[in-house]
């Protein structure tokens, strides 16, 4: 059997390991337009701030593909640009054609840049891959001021890295909170205070109207609220979008990402998808969506790899999980942390901004936890996540969920024997 994998990051790597655990002999070919050893994108901001070097970014040995007996074709020319489902073949932009019996699409996602921001202007960057980080790092000696467009995970990581290097940094956010896909307003204000204490300017409800340039280099940003922000470096951090261009005109089901079933199979039974490009079932939203997270990519890649070699493995679904450290404060969120219609949920909240502590548990009308935000105190995160995954009725101990003393013992104390047996026996995702 010929297995072809497009993409060389978390999902593709996990798939290879799963395949080789079951089948040592089948042909595995991998394509990537990035000629780099396997590295973690999650650590790029640490590389930018000099907290780690390029070697510290690696998450597998340089000889990984050789050990796994995988034919890796990587670098310029090996971007997959065409998919012929009838012939079961993928065409690269260098003209080479690769056939498959089973195909895994793990093409990931790309950073979004506002349309009015000139992507190829000197001093304008995104922070999505190692090439981006290297280019930013090379520019830093001539940078005194920086502007980050977007207050999501990438934007906050980039801003703290730059500020730590002594660069005056401003974050421009269109909404009234940062980390809006991860936390709510009250939690956001705690993080904002931490950033401002380190000299980072956070500009809420502000839009960049125009990027100002001179001699081909960025010199500032014109905003709709605070006039001109001078800068020599501009980083676009407005989120990501799945890399689905390869699927255009193929007839595959691609509502946003590539829609998959419980076996990570697409609408074509010979084609699988995993990672940032895949739409999978979300256990808390109870619908299909893209969760562009490293942990999800690893889980999905593993399940897809097993299914590609006939080891039938159900992927029950994703839980949207995010974690971040802002200086000495840890933040974590799961699931529906900021519901649009709060009337559909009940909330248990502990808000102690003076201590830098915030806890929020979102509970559905079925008495199951749908979302969590923890700022400052992480001790109960594992127990709370297991309650989500096991779909446990928490009504008997709901008022204790945000207590510092809440732990597995609390569940034992308040649950009836039958419910506890179900909790203990229910298989984790």
Quick: pLDDT tens for 202-227: 999 999 999 999 999 999 999 998 78
For the purposes of burial, counting CB atoms within 10 Å of the CB of 112, is it exposed (0-12), middle (13-18) or buried (19 or more)?
middle
- Domain co-membership, 104 together with 214: no
Terminal CA-CA length for the chain: 29
247 and 83 Cβ atoms separated by less than 8 Å: yes
- Domain co-membership, 216 together with 136: yes
**Range from 222-226, 288-292, 356-360, 418-422 carrying the lowest mean pLDDT:** 418-422
pLDDT at 415: 62
Domain assignment of residue 43, yes or no: no
Domain assignment of residue 21, yes or no: yes
Helices 294-308 and 10-22 sit at what angle, rounded to 10 degrees?
A: 30
Residue 92 CB contacts under 8 Å (≥ 6 apart), including other chains: 31, 73, 77, 78, 79, 80, 81, 98
pLDDT tens for residues 329-376? Answer: 999 999 999 998 888 999 999 999 999 999 999 999 999 999 999 999
pLDDT band at 112 (very low <50, low <70, confident <90, very high): confident
**Averaged pLDDT for residues 290-314:** 96
pLDDT tens for residues 169-192? Answer: 999 999 999 999 899 999 999 999
**Averaged pLDDT for residues 102-128:** 90
pLDDT tens for residues 66-98? Answer: 999 999 999 999 999 999 999 999 999 999 999
User: In terms of residue numbers, what domain contains 267?
Assistant: 2-37+55-110+241-308
Domain boundary among 267, 291, 308: 308
Which residue, among 143, 116, 148, 140, has the nearest Cα to 212 in the 3D structure?
Answer: 116
**Range from 55-59, 171-175, 226-230, 233-237 carrying the lowest mean pLDDT:** 226-230
**Averaged pLDDT for residues 395-418:** 80
Domain assignment of residue 33, yes or no: yes
CA separation for the pair 382, 139 (Å, rounded): 41
Domain assignment of residue 206, yes or no: yes
- Domain co-membership, 216 together with 298: no
pLDDT band at 411 (very low <50, low <70, confident <90, very high): confident
b vs e for 209-228, b when ≥16 Cβ sit within 10 Å of the residue's Cβ? Answer: eebebeeeebbbbebeeeee
- Domain co-membership, 193 together with 264: no
Residue 427 CB contacts under 8 Å (≥ 6 apart), including other chains: none
Residue 362 CB contacts under 8 Å (≥ 6 apart), including other chains: 335, 336, 337, 339, 345, 346, 347, 369, 370, 371, 372
- Domain co-membership, 10 together with 87: yes
Domain boundary among 205, 221, 238: 238
- Domain co-membership, 377 together with 230: no
Domain boundary among 191, 218, 238: 238
* H helix or E strand, kind and range, residue 409: helix 408-414
Residue 246 CB contacts under 8 Å (≥ 6 apart), including other chains: 6, 80, 81, 82, 83, 90, 105, 107
pLDDT beyond 80 at 244? yes
Q: Rounded to 5, what percent of the chain is helix, strand, coil?
A: 30, 30, 40
- Domain co-membership, 301 together with 349: no
Question: What radius of gyration do the chain's Cα atoms show?
Answer: 23
- How many domains does the chain fold into? 3
**Range from 18-27, 295-304, 396-405 carrying the lowest mean pLDDT:** 396-405
**Averaged pLDDT for residues 375-392:** 89
111 and 119 Cβ atoms separated by less than 8 Å: no
Mean pLDDT score across all residues of the chain: 93
List, in sequence order, every beta strand (DSSP E) within 108-206. 109-111, 124-126, 145-149, 168-172, 201-203
Domain assignment of residue 313, yes or no: no
Give the rounded percent of residues in the chain with a pLDDT score beyond 90.
81
CA separation for the pair 90, 31 (Å, rounded): 10
Residue 223 CB contacts under 8 Å (≥ 6 apart), including other chains: 172, 203, 206, 207, 208, 209, 229
Domain assignment of residue 168, yes or no: yes
- Domain co-membership, 99 together with 68: yes
- Give the strand pairing for 27-32 and 2-6: parallel
pLDDT at 87: 97
* H helix or E strand, kind and range, residue 219: strand 217-223
Global confidence as pTM: 0.90
Domain assignment of residue 351, yes or no: yes
CATH number of the CATH domain containing 220: 3.50.50.60
pLDDT tens for residues 16-35? Answer: 999 999 999 999 999 999 99
- Domain co-membership, 215 together with 256: no
pLDDT band at 424 (very low <50, low <70, confident <90, very high): low
- Domain co-membership, 127 together with 232: yes
pLDDT at 380: 87
- Domain co-membership, 120 together with 234: yes
Domain assignment of residue 262, yes or no: yes
pLDDT at 405: 81
pLDDT beyond 70 at 416? no
- Domain co-membership, 211 together with 354: no
pLDDT at 427: 45
CA separation for the pair 75, 5 (Å, rounded): 15
Helices 185-197 and 153-164 sit at what angle, rounded to 10 degrees?
A: 20
């Amino acid at each position: 059997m010929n297995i072809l994998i497009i993409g060389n990051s978390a999902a593709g790597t996990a798939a290879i390991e799963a395949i080789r655990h079951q089948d040592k002999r089948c042909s595995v070919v991998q394509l990537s337009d990035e000629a780099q050893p396997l590295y973690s994108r999650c650590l790029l901001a640490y590389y930018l701030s000099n907290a780690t070097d390029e070697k510290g970014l690696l998450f597998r040995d340089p000889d990984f593909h050789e050990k796994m007996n995988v034919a890796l074709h990587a670098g310029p020319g090996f971007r997959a640009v065409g998919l012929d489902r009838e012939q079961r073949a993928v065409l690269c932009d260098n003209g080479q054609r690769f056939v498959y019996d089973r195909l895994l699409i793990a093409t990931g996602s790309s950073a979004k840049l506002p349309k009015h921001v000139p992507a190829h202007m000197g001093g304008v960057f995104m922070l999505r891959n190692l090439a981006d980080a290297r280019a930013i790092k090379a520019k830093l000696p001539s940078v005194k001021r920086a502007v980050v467009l977007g207050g999501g995970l990438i934007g906050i990581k980039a801003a703290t890295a730059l500020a730590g290097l002594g660069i005056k940094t401003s974050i421009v956010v269109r909404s009234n909170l940062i980390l809006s896909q991860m936390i709510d307003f009250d939690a956001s204000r705690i993080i904002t205070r931490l950033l401002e204490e380190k000299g980072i300017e956070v500009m809420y409800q502000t839009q960049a109207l125009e990027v100002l340039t001179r001699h081909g280099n960025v010199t500032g940003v014109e905003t709709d609220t605070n006039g001109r922000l001078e800068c020599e470096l501009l980083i676009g951090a407005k989120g990501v979008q799945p890399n689905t261009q390869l699927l255009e005109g193929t007839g595959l089901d691609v509502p946003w990402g590539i829609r998959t079933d419980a076996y990570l199979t697409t609408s074509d039974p010979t084609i699988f998808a995993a990672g940032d490009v895949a739409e999978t079932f979300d256990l808390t939203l109870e619908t299909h969506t893209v969760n562009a997270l490293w942990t999800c990519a690893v889980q999905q890649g593993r399940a897809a790899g097993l299914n590609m070699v006939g080891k039938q493995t159900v992927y029950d679904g994703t839980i949207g999980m995010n974690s971040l450290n802002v200086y000495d404060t840890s933040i974590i969120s799961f699931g529906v942390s900021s519901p649009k219609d709060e009337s559909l949920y009940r909330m248990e909240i502990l808000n102690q901004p003076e201590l830098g502590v915030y806890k929020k548990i979102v509970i559905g009308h079925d008495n199951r936890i749908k979302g969590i935000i923890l700022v400052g105190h992480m001790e109960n995160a594992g127990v709370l996540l297991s309650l989500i995954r096991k779909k446990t009725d928490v009504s008997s101990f709901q008022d204790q969920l945000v207590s510092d003393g809440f732990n597995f013992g609390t569940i034992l104390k308040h649950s009836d024997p039958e419910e506890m047996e179900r909790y203990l026996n229910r298989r984790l995702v």
